[in-house]
Amino acid sequence: MSANTGPATASGQTTALSIIFAVSGAHLLNDLLQFLLPALYPLLKETYDLNYLQIGLLTLGQQITACILQPLFGLQGDLKPKPLWLPLSLAIVSVGVVALATANGFALLLVASVVLGIGSALFHPEASRLARLASGGKLGFAQSLFQVGGNLGTALGPLAAALILLPLGQFTTLWFVLAGFAGVALLSYVARWYAEHQRQLSTRPAVAPRKPALSRDRLIMAFAVIGALLLSKFIYIETLKSYYSFFLIEKFDLSAQDAQLYLFLFLGAVAAGTFIGGPVGDRYGRLAVIWVSILGSLPFTLLMPYLDLFWTATMSVMTGLILSSAFSAMVVYAQELVPGKVGMIAGFVFGFAFGVGALGAAAMGALADWIGIVAVFQICAFLPALGFLTILLPRTAELYPESREKLA
């Protein structure tokens, strides 16, 4: 096989670019289908007379399912890789899309959101593990390329809403089942490579992963800090994904379609920032990227609720670009804390991120019913200040002191 398409060599230096691109493309399709639900929020709110709390509960139903299930699926994949879970995940998501298109009230919308969440939970841990296997050691690059597919899919959601869903109605969501079928086909191809890769690895001597020299208490502290950083990032981003359109409609009297276009700009910036962050982390260190990403977005989040439409959009783009750049670095950094548990840690990071974002979005929705959506955005602006906690994360020299000794 060629260097770009075959399984990674024993030395781990071959980067299977075609596989990383394929799983990134599947990530695009999955996250596009996942975002059909929030893309429909303006229409659903009006059609079924939903309040902000109910909208937050739909987000919660979709994301909390992924939060609970992803670490469990990831651990199962660590014990025995599950290539067939990849195409199965998009098949389940397709069922969720059908349920979303045909739901006629809040209860059935909640069922659709849970089914979508189950498919997403099945997809992310195995897909993240596969991107790492195909990375050839370029862990940040591979994780960023994988992540940017999902961010692009999410960014396309508002365009789908503005051009198709909002003008033509909820039932047109059914057309997107075709994207789900395409995802099943793409992941079936990827699963065959994955299965062959695992077969080849089974014939080689097992290599024990290098273990960081961290105490149990230090490891718990590190994951507590990572959790707080994920909280700051994902509550803010999920709040914007769920309510930014309503914020623009209320403050600037935009139409629903126009508001979706501004949401697309924000999510497009999130996609760009995600891709940039991984390679920068490979070169300059993951902690440096985490520092700049979380704290660097703080001035823009603080300014955004008080500006006119042009500068609000500009601040949202800058926030999305900077705040999203840390996620790939955080995934890889967390995996380095617990070597040998790639799927479980990916499931934890994705699951916690989705869950805390969903809980935060639901809470912000309830708060918006009480004090208004503009006031909610003024409060959320302070979340990136949690980036100061990065100072508590272990440095590379603390993770791997034997590397420092060899250089001495």
DSSP state of 209: P
Q: What is the pLDDT of residue 375?
A: 92
Instruction: Show the CA angle centred on residue 109, arms to residues 104 and 111, nearest 5°.
Output: 120
Residues contacting 79, CB < 8 A, separation 6+: none
Residue 407 has pLDDT above 70, yes or no: no
Cα distance between residue 295 and residue 275, in whole Å = 19
Supply 234's token pair: 């994902």
Evaluate whether 287 touches 395 at the Cβ level (below 8 Å).
yes
247 versus 278: the higher-pLDDT residue is 247
pTM above 0.85, yes or no: no
Q: What is the pLDDT of residues 374-406, one digit of tens each?
A: 999 999 999 999 889 888 888 766 666 555 444
Segments making up each domain of the chain, as ranges: 17-204+211-407
Q: What is the pLDDT of residue 210?
A: 59
102 versus 200: the higher-pLDDT residue is 102
From residue 253, how far is each of 219, 256, 309 by CA, in Å? 49, 9, 10
64-85 as b/e: b if 16+ CB within 10 A: bbbbebbbebbbbbbeebbbeb
Class of the domain covering 17-204+211-407:
mainly alpha
Residues contacting 17, CB < 8 A, separation 6+: 4, 5, 134
Cα distance between residue 152 and residue 33, in whole Å = 12
Q: What is the pLDDT of residue 401?
A: 59
- Mean pLDDT, residues 43-54 taken together: 88
Q: What is the dihedral of CA 280, 284, 285, 286, to 10 degrees?
A: -30
Q: What is the pLDDT of residue 312?
A: 95
Q: What is the pLDDT of residue 14?
A: 56
Residue 297 has pLDDT above 60, yes or no: yes
Cα distance between residue 151 and residue 144, in whole Å = 10
Q: What is the pLDDT of residues 168-180, one digit of tens each?
A: 888 999 999 999 9
Q: What is the pLDDT of residue 61?
A: 85
| pLDDT, mean over the chain | 82
Q: Range with the lowest mean pLDDT among 61-65, 152-156, 231-235, 390-394? A: 61-65
Instruction: Show the CA angle centred on residue 28, arms to residues 373 and 340, nearest 5°.
Output: 100
Task: State which of 43-52, 70-79, 151-160, 208-217 shows the largest mean pLDDT.
Answer: 43-52
DSSP state of 3: T
Task: State which of 80-89, 153-162, 283-292 shows the largest mean pLDDT.
Answer: 80-89
The residue among 399, 257, 202, 239 whose CA lies nearest residue 320 is 239
Total residue count of the chain as it appears in this document: 408
Amino acid identity at 292: V
| CA dihedral sign, ordered 54, 55, 60, 66 | positive
